[in-house]
Structure 1
Amino acid sequence: MKITFEEGTYTIEELSVAPLQNRTYCIFDLEGTGIDPTVEGVTQFGAVRYRREEGVAASSFSSLVRASKPIPEAVEKLTGITNQEMLQAPLFNEVYEHFCNFIGDQVLVTHAGYEYDLPMLERHCLEYGLTMFTNKVLDTKAMFTYIHPEVTDVVSTDFLIHYYGLDTDGIHRHDALEDCGIIARIFEYVLEEYEQQGLDYFTAVPDKRMRRFVIPEMYLKK
């Protein structure tokens, strides 16, 4: 798969997944020290297996990761992951190995992963001398955008929670494993819409553009 970033948008190429409906997926999510994937460190992995007919499986994977830089106070409050916990957390290479064993060769599903999770993982793998996994990856943001050209908003998790009317009371948002559960629920609705449109495949089209999330200018100031 090829991801091309442009000013405010991105496109994807060289990805095709079929069938969509009758298969087991692995949904994953990362937490990090911040929102800029070019400089931030991974603090947590979360992953669950999912099949539409059965929902989220009991098996799951979750682990903190010792970040390469301190977690800002605001991010500690947002995620609930503290710098104190980082002192005892395993290193990225250890957690990544276990994560790869968990996902196997299954198709992965994430949200906004094309612009955050995957670039972050690729950078970390490069820094640690590890091989990036080659699993196909579906992104609910891209899948939704492909069938909703009328939507001009940035398709964030919060946007889709509101769009599909999901109840997230009692869920610890910004915990990687619990966010996987939310992504699974979003993915269920997206798969349903694809089925209603007679689509049992997702194929990347180079001229389809997704709006990128905006990193606040103040955040970018060093």
Structure 2
Amino acid sequence: MAVNELQNGGALVKITFEPGTYTVEGVSVTPLLNRTYCIFDLEGTGIDTAVESVTQFGAIYYKRGEGADKTSFVSLVRASKPIPEAVEKLTGITNQAMQQALHFDEVYKQFCSYIGDQVLVTHAGYEYDLPMLEHHCEQFGLTMFTNKVLDTKAMFTYIHPEVTDVVSTDFLIHYYDLDTEGIHRHDALEDCGIIARIFECVLEEYEQRGLDHFIADSEKRMKRFVIPDMYLTKEKGELSE
């Protein structure tokens, strides 16, 4: 069992990783339905947050009923290690592009300026994006942001205990029957657009159930994503965060 503790909106967030599952404590957001959010996503050299490196940030502002704002934030980040060939093909981010990319500390400061004090939204952020950013901040001697963070994976899992699948982005795209044709998946900014559409569907379900809050519950477990073969071998595969 491993435990990550983060400052989140003035509270201590505790993410406890167990074999195959994880739980979250310390996140509380209310109201949910009528506020502006900032949705963000990361791309990286892989998904082991202890050893992999961020390659791209993406972020957009979003308010329910109004969709995503026209302004956005996107930037490549110079990785500290080579990008595996399979990941280059998956994301379209190449090792050649890394030569001109800004270093993490520069991009992170720009990202923090963009997000301000908004509540953030991710998908699988409790098990990937937040631990990844925490690790990088430690490496670069930076202060981790303290914004509250919602995770569409956790929000969905809490209201659908009957679902036994790993709640990946692909699972939710199929569950909500979203059309993603023509969208460049695994691009941080374009994935933000998909997360926004998923988040819209999740909020609709919360409203239907009379819920205008999210409170993390340590009794409710999320299934951890399975590391795809592409990260275990050098063969082709697909990432499912």
Task: Normalising by structure 1, report the TM-score.
Answer: 0.97
How far does the alpha carbon of each residue in 1:40-94 deviate from its partner, in whole angstroms, 9 at most, with x for none?
A: 1000000000000211001100000000100000000000000000001000000
Matching residue of 1:81:
93
Deviation at 1:188, TM superposition (A): 0.1
Matching residue of 1:152:
164
Secondary structure in 2 matching 1:90: coil
Matching residue of 1:166:
178
Letter in 2 for 1:58: K
Letter in 1 for 2:184: H
CA distance in 2, matches of 1:143, 1:78: 27
Aligned counterparts, 1:20-35, within 5 A:
20-35=32-47
1:103 aligned to 93, 111, 115, which one?
Answer: 115
Matching residue of 1:18:
30
1:64 aligned to 76, 90, 102, which one?
Answer: 76
Letter in 2 for 1:166: L
Secondary structure in 1 matching 2:167: coil
Secondary structure in 2 matching 1:76: helix
Matching residue of 2:210:
198
Matching residue of 2:103:
91
CA distance in 1, matches of 2:132, 2:39: 17
Matching residue of 1:8:
20
Deviation at 1:219, TM superposition (A): 3.7
Size of the aligned set, in residue pairs, is 221
Q: RMSD of the TM alignment (CA)?
A: 1.1
Secondary structure in 2 matching 1:10: strand
Secondary structure in 1 matching 2:227: coil
Deviation at 1:162, TM superposition (A): 0.2
Deviation at 1:35, TM superposition (A): 1.7
Letter in 1 for 2:156: F
Detail structure 1 runs of 4+ shifted over 6 Å in the superposition. none
CA distance in 2, matches of 1:114, 1:168: 24
Deviation at 1:132, TM superposition (A): 0.2
Q: Is the 8 A contact 2:24 2:217 kept in 1?
A: yes
Query: Once the two structures are aligned, what percentage of the paired residues are identical?
Result: 80
Matching residue of 1:207:
219
Deviation at 1:36, TM superposition (A): 1.2
Greater Cα offset, 135-144 or 33-42 = 33-42
